[in-house]
Amino acid sequence: MPQVPINYNSGDASVAWSGWRTKGYTCLPHVSGESKRRGEVAQLRPTDVVVITFPKTGTTWLQQVCEQLRTGGDMSFTEIEERQPWLEFAWDCGQDLDDDQVAFPRLFKSHQLLSAINPGAKYLSILRDPETVFTSWFHFQKVKNRRPFVDCADTNEYALTGDFEGDNIFGTNVWDYYVELWEARHEANVFVLCYETLVKNARAYLPHIAQFLGTPDDNSRLETVLQMSSKEFMAEHGHQFDDHFIRDKGMELGRAAKIMEVAPKVTTRQKDVLTPKTLKWLERTWAEKVTPRTGLASYKDMCAAFHDRST
């Protein structure tokens, strides 16, 4: 296994995180009350893995990596949420969270805060530069014709609304979400990586993800995962990663409070040109929300610390 310095599974009881289950679920309006309740009270197994991320940080890519690590190259699913239930959507989709899954370990998806998630399992997360998260979130929501996104000409105008820095995204924002992951970094069942680092050297990190999941990490399997988690491969199979399973099941069963819109997740577009004012706002918000609680001056510093055994 490549010797990549990663700080996970430290299990340092002296710095145990006290945030577990101190908050409740915050769900999208598409989720019925019963589905939220069933997701929130679901009993997870110690071997279960929840891909728990802030939206637009690389969630779908990480789900695909995990799916192919556990199956060794199986794409016979309609859409990835069919295989990896989104916890609060599961009942609306006719899924039983107690059921066994197609392969080991059982995998679930969530955008809930770590402090709100069902305890007792393992939690795999990924961070991404807040600048990229901000622009990706804007475009993803604008395609769905949601407000205030459709009322904004571009990301710079969206920044002025204050929507992104509030608690409007699953009851939180990207900065507070990252802080919780940082505070829980010594928990033996929490594994956090950074998107940019993984993109640069995915081959080196896959064995560590496999070890956390408890799946084989032989060279043949890793090469399969690399190929099937590439942007080109996932773009060719885009319909299997666009949440249509949730929309279709919501319509079929009539359980969802509102039908969820779908939009492509694997896309290519030009990088947004952010104004100096917008960039300064992003820097200032990090300094106000993250630095006082972590001592980390920037996202780059956080990534370096997460990938350093000495922290």
- CA proximity to 78, closest of 268, 249, 252: 249
Report d(CA 75, CA 103) in Å as an integer.
13
Residues of the chain above pLDDT 70, percent: 92
Report d(CA 96, CA 78) in Å as an integer.
17
Over residues 213-260, the pLDDT tens digits come to: 999 999 999 999 999 999 999 999 999 999 999 999 988 999 988 777
- Write down the pLDDT at residue 195: 95
Over residues 161-199, the pLDDT tens digits come to: 999 988 989 999 999 999 999 999 999 999 999 999 998
- Write down the pLDDT at residue 1: 34
- Write down the pLDDT at residue 264: 65
User: What's this model's pTM, rounded to 2 decimal places?
Assistant: 0.93
The residues near 198 (Cβ < 8 Å, ≥ 6 apart) are: 58, 126, 205
Rounded to the nearest 5 percent, the helix, strand and coil shares of the chain are 45, 5, 50
Over residues 2-40, the pLDDT tens digits come to: 334 444 445 565 678 999 999 999 999 999 999 999 999
DSSP designation for 266: S
Give 56-87 as a DSSP string: TSSHHHHHHHHHHHHHSS----SSHHHHS-BG
What topology does CATH give the domain 13-306?
Answer: Rossmann fold (3.40.50)
Over residues 263-279, the pLDDT tens digits come to: 666 666 667 889 999 99
Over residues 32-83, the pLDDT tens digits come to: 999 999 999 999 999 999 999 999 999 999 999 999 999 999 999 999 999 9
- 3-state SS, residue 250: helix
Domain map (residue ranges) of the chain:
13-306
